[in-house]
Amino acid sequence: MTPSLVLASASPFRRALLENAGLVFAARAAEIDERALEKPLEEAGSAPEEVAMRLAEAKARDVAGHFPGALVIGSDQTMSLGQRVYHKPKDMAEAGQHLLSLSGKTHRLNSAVVLIRDDAVLWRHVSSAQMSVRALTPEFVDRHLQRVGIKALSSVGAYQLEGEGIQLFEKIDGDYFTILGLPMLPLLAKLRELGTIDA
């Protein structure tokens, strides 16, 4: 039996957000090459919000092919500082470089969510958050990364706000769920409007 709601993600964070909200859904990771999709968009000068939206849609389309008739949630997040778009650090050295480049500056997280049924895009949304990092010393960054370990490599900014990463910030303007990578309040509102969840 085909589930009525599917999350196009293997992210334990996104899955937990939906589970904690009481949603019943299936989950399947999209099989797309994100870097290959991103590269031409970035070369064309696409805004980070647009890149997040395109990736979210590509993920949802890929997974929708496996679940005919199901409502598929695709999501993606980009992180930008000025014109620079960040990617997950490849190693701990690059994680340190990421954090030092953010020191004393305000970067932006852009979280996109798309709903697709079969070939039809039913809804698109992007939420953004402004993240102000306090001034960091190289010595502090080294100690911080030693404490958090390889978890730093699992997020684009090399931090987890829900863990010790909160110590890197002096100010945050934005929705907590947007920061975690899935704008839950607009998503839940749309699912209620579509009659997918109890209104």
Compute the radius of gyration of the chain from its Cα atoms.
17
Q: pLDDT for 60-99, tens place per residue?
A: 999 999 999 999 999 999 999 987 889 889 999 999 999 9
pLDDT value of residue 45:
87
pLDDT value of residue 69:
95
Q: Which two tokens stand for residue 115?
A: 């709903």
Angle between helices 48-64 and 34-43 (to 10 degrees): 150
Domains of the chain and CATH, by start: 5-193 (3.90.950.10)
Kindly tell me if the per-residue pLDDT of 141 is higher than 90: yes
What is the percentage of the chain residues whose pLDDT exceeds 90?
A: 81
Read off the pLDDT of each residue in 4-29 and give the average, rounded to a whole number: 94
Q: Is residue 28 within a helix (H) or strand (E), and if so which, with residue range?
A: none
Residue carrying structure tokens 């679940």 = 67
Alpha-carbon distance of 196 to 52, in angstroms, equals: 24
pLDDT value of residue 7:
98
pLDDT value of residue 10:
85
pLDDT value of residue 27:
96
If pLDDT is split at 50, 70 and 90, which confidence band does 18 have? very high
Q: Which residues are catalytic?
A: 76
Read off the pLDDT of each residue in 155-176 and give the average, rounded to a whole number: 92
User: What is the phi/psi pair of residue 39, to 5°?
Assistant: -55, -55
Read off the pLDDT of each residue in 93-119 and give the average, rounded to a whole number: 97
Alpha-carbon distance of 53 to 115, in angstroms, equals: 11
Kindly tell me if the per-residue pLDDT of 3 is higher than 90: no
Q: Which two tokens stand for residue 91?
A: 């190693």
Average pLDDT, the chain: 94
